Structures are given as C-alpha cells and as structure tokens.
Chain A
C-alpha cells in the first residue's frame, strides 16, 4: 500500500489561550492516500472546518495549532513559514471554499482571478499562455470559455462554485480540500458541482478531503469517511461499511436521524447537546449523550482501535473485538 499523502497526527487547535481556550480540534489523527476521496463529516462546532483551515495553514488568531503534526508528503506543514506555505498552497494543496460568493473578487473578471493564481506561482508565464490555460480550465469544469470575460455577479451560484474548482485545480495540486462546497446550492446544482469535482479529481489523480455535515453527500461522494464529534474523530472507515454498520454510538444515532425516501418512519434525533469545548466532559466526549454509556466511559477516553481492516473506532463497546 502506498504511503499516505496527507498524514495528520494528533492535531490540536485551540482558540484563545490558557484555561479559557476553546479546544476546537483535540487530537485529530487520520491519513489520506494519493488520489482518494476522504470525507471529514460532523455537525456544527465539531471542528471540521477548523481542521480544514489548519491543513491549509490558514488559521487566524486567536486560533492556533498547539500540538500535533500535519505531514504532506512527509513535510510538516505546521513548521513552515507563511512564505513557504504560500508556495505550497494551490500548487500542492488547494481549497474549494464554502461560500463561493464571498471568495471571488467582485471587481475582477473570472479570467484575471484565475490568471493571477497562475502568475503568483509561475511569475514568468506569458499572458497569452495563461489565457489559454484559463479557457481550458473553465472547460474542464463544464463552463464555456466565454465565462472568462464575466464578473462574479454575472454568474449563478453553481457557476461560481465551478470557477472556484477551476481555480483550485489551476496548478494541478496533489490534494484538494473542499469545505462544504455545495452547502448553499440547490440539490440539482449540488449534484452537478460534485460530479464536476469528482471528474476533475479523477483526471488529475488528486486526493480530495470533503468537509461537510451532509451525510447524504458524503455517502454519494467519498471512498472513506471520518466522523468527527466535539473535536475528535470517533470513527474512520470505508464509507459503505460505516453506513451499513456504524460502530460508534454517535455514528449510529446520526445515521438513524437522517430522513430517507425509502419509506416513512419516525424521525428520531439525538437527545442532548454537544459538549462545551472549553471544559469538555471527562472521558469519552459523547458519553453524556450516549445510551450505551458505561462507568468507565467517564473515567477515561477510549483510544482508536482498528476493529476491522481499515475501520477504526474510539469506543469501549468494541474493545473486545480487538
């Protein structure tokens, strides 16, 4: 098996300092292989978007990495300077942002925004060459070349998101972080945009980390999935296996809460609320809401264990299976 492309080890990100710090990401460990689609799934406040920002070195004060490593091809991104990170961004690791509306410059034509990205990394590129590449990039995401001349306000939401994908792949990165790329789009357009992303990652051979809360999108898009809860991953596994047989109680209840079209049934949410990230509960973070909680769940946090090949879970219920 190939070595992991991105290897995140015990990543910790806090907002603020000392006792009152929000421990947004608290011991995140996973890896992504070359060319695979990995889903980082969780509900609001679980730390998934903070993690995405950390992978790109885009955390802003008061957020900071306080521990762990983020290895991209063996290089620890947390130790790089801003200058070094800037050279990696887009070239090796790129971002498809959440709100395409806010991430494009409203007073710049699409052409110039993409060409700027190219020029920033290849200062000697000729304008005419850049223009040809912009046209090809737009076509590769299913847009007409003429879109290059337009301003962002002339584009629909789906078109803007495709422009963002075109920009993200302009320098043929090895890994693309897509942070809720379709959460503001209608379902029909959402499917088209995700198919576009699927298509370009396949042709490029790039890995994708899809960050999001929509479990339906995860089920349809990714190869492997990691379920985050209160700053840590509770379960990682092949997506089909995780949906068919979720091992962690949180994953199980989350999947059970999803409405489907396959017959009516009682809608059942997860009782209780996610814990405070300033003073998380002792032991397992899900323990206060868990119907299967035992005494020792509050005593210490269970470690991740590979219960089946490639299927990891952090829960004492599965300790015997090891």
Chain B
C-alpha cells in the first residue's frame, strides 16, 4: 500500500498583524489533501483573490509553517525534515509559480535554471548526457532547444520562459507538482499548449499536480478533482465534472455563472442581485452568507461543515444539512482523485483529524 507523497492534515494558517500581533486574519481554514503516491491526478484549487489558494500552495511547499495541522512528506512533518530527507523533498515536490519573469536572474542565461537543477540533483552525468536530458525536457513542453538554449531571459517571450519552468519541474521527475497560477500571465493560445504539455507529461510520468487557479474553465479542462475556496474556507470539493457542471454551493454557482463563456448568447448578461463589495459574513457564520440568495438564520450563527452530498463530492452549506458530515480523511480522499484504495492505508495512520481540533 502506498502512502501519499504529501499528506496535508487539517492545515490552517492565521496571519497576525498590527502591533504585537493583536489582529489576526484567517488566511486558510483547515484543509486536508492527499497528493501523489497513486496514479497521476490533477487536483484544482480554485478561488478568487483572497481565497487562501496561494497560502495553501505555500503551506504544501513548506515555505510557511501552518498555524495548526501539519503537512507530511512520506509520513514525516515538513518542519522536521533535515539533510537527505529535505533534499529528497525538494526533488519530489516541485513548484511552478505565476510570474515567469521574477524567477529568472536577468544576468544569467535562462537555461541556467535547467543546468543548475540537473547538476544539483545529479540527473545525468555531466556533458553530452546532461545536455540531451535538458533538450529532451525542452522538447517535451514544445520548445525548440536551438531557439531556447543560451538565450537570456529578456530574449525569450513570457510563454517560453514559463515553459522552461515547466520543463525544469518535469525534468526532475518529481512525484508532485504544485503549480500556482502557472498560466495566468500567458496568452490564451499558449495557455492551452502549456497546460496540455503539463497534463500530458504528468500522466506519462505518474506525477500528481495541484493546479491552483482562479480560472474555472481551465481547471475543469485539466483536472479530475477540485477544491473551491472562498475567503479561506473550502466551500465545495470533489469530482470536477460534478462540481463544475452541477455546482451545489451558492458561491460555486455564482462563480460558474460569472465565467464569460466564449460563446455569444450564453446567459452571462442576466442580472445579478449580489451586492458589489460585501464586507464578509459575520464572525462564526458562513462567509458567503451576506451575498447568498438562499441565506437562512443558521448561516449567521454557525460555520457550515462539509456535507457529503454524494459519493464523490462534499459541500459546505446548510442547504445540504440532511447529508452526513464529511470527516477530514473523507475530504482528503475526495480531492485525491481515483485512489480510494489508498484511503485505507492513510486512514490507518495515527490520528488523521489531529489538526482540525486545535482551531
């Protein structure tokens, strides 16, 4: 039985601001996710700005420590990784970030990111073999090595630069890739090319991908499962086909309706009663309550838990309170794709719900 490469157990993040950290803002309510270790799965994490999706990416990458809960890498807490384990983590879990401009040092040739990674992780013997590996990695994402190698970042387009980062991530043969808005600064015609290359290669190499995005249309196209975040809380998760084509949470419904579809005459123009800039639901209640057309008294009093409305989905809304509540391990299995076999092994690991209790 395999255990997940990354096992997020009720990770949450609270940022403290103000003098002496007196004010705090909940950036992310507890999230449980299993990534890698099974067949390749693409999990989308979708949400608007301020939804906590980038915070989740940073927690999964160990860039920031969680306030509660833990992220385990092959069973060990990320915060405790040292030496060889840490190096293994850095190879097994790769990141692709939004901005294909900022990750490059303008004074070095762009392909330096490939050579450095190949050397550091000793991917191939130096010389011809290493060059061949790099050229292969570039071709896999649709780049021509002769047009790319030796160029400086400013001589390449944004799309080329981002594809080099995808090539780098894939070249390391990781088990998980965390891609945080990888194509949001890229033109539509190239977006498709990059996402297609990423998805295709991930499947071929058995890499699981977390695709963090605000774009539900691409999320729908490339992922199998999805987690929709709203102001730091998971509002809906599960099978992407169900969540996008039959959204249950009023927020997901609003989001799906708001997507400008590339089809004139779609119902986009229908008027929307939602207030323009709501200040957020009252503390302790549902965060969407102030914008929700179906709001009920209970929504202001209690935060809705995730209800398991169907086999492959869960939704945090009291409209579905008849359904059973979903335990964190169930939520994790919903987002980890077609991998129910692994559920048994991970649930058997000690105290899965540990993180969520300490809120």
Interfacial residues, chain A to chain B (CB-CB below 8 A): 43-44, 142-143, 156, 158-159, 162, 186-192, 195, 198, 213-221, 239-240, 243-244, 253-255, 257-262, 264-271, 273
Contact = CB atoms under 8 A, between A and B. Distances in A.
Given A43-B187, A273-B160, 7 more contacts: A188-B258, A216-B262, A220-B260, A243-B262, A243-B264, A267-B192, A270-B190
B20 interface: no
A191 B188 contact: no
A254 to B, nearest CB: 5
B195 A254 contact: no
B340 interface: no
Interface string B213-226: 01111101110000
Interface stretch (B57-65, B102-110, B128-136, B269-277): B269-277
Contacts of A142: 276
A255 B264 CA distance: 12
Max chain A CB contacts within 10 Å: which of B158, B216, B260, B266? B260
Contact of A261 (B157, B191, B220): B220
B189 interface: yes
Contacts of A244: 264
Contact of A188 (B244, B265, B274): B274
Interface of B: 48-49, 142, 157-160, 187-196, 199, 214-218, 220-222, 241, 244-245, 254-256, 258-266, 268-269, 271-272, 274, 276-277
Given A213-B188, A269-B194, A261 B260 contact: no
Q: Is the interface of B mostly helix, strand, loop or mixed?
A: helix
B191 A192 contact: no
B262 A188 contact: no
Contacts of A218: 262
A220 B221 contact: no
B264 A43 contact: no
B218 A191 contact: no
B161 to A, nearest CB: 12
B276 A269 contact: no
A217 B265 contact: no
A269 B264 contact: no
B254 A188 contact: yes
A258 B196 contact: no
A153 B246 CA distance: 38
B159 A219 contact: no
Nearest to B221: A259
Contact of A191 (B194, B216, B260): B260
A191 B272 contact: yes
A289 to B, nearest CB: 10
B48 A188 contact: yes
A159 B221 contact: no
Given A142-B276, A187-B259, A268-B192, A261 B244 contact: yes
16 contacts: A43-B187, A188-B272, A190-B258, A217-B260, A219-B264, A220-B266, A244-B264, A254-B189, A259-B191, A259-B218, A259-B220, A266-B196, A267-B195, A267-B199, A267-B222, A268-B192
A269 B221 contact: no
A220 B270 CA distance: 11
Nearest to A45: B157
B255 A188 contact: yes
A220 to B, nearest CB: 4
Contacts of B254: 188
Given A187-B258, A261-B244, A243 B263 contact: yes
A190 B260 contact: yes
B262 A258 contact: yes
A266 B190 CA distance: 14
Nearest to A274: B157
B189 A264 contact: no
Contacts of A216: 217, 259-262
B221 A219 contact: no
A261 B256 contact: yes
Contacts of A195: 269, 271-272
Contact of B264 (A162, A239, A266): A239
A270 B261 contact: no
Given A259-B220, A267-B196, A220 B268 contact: yes
A268 B276 CA distance: 36
A198 B196 CA distance: 35
Contact of A257 (B191, B268, B272): B191
B191 A273 contact: no
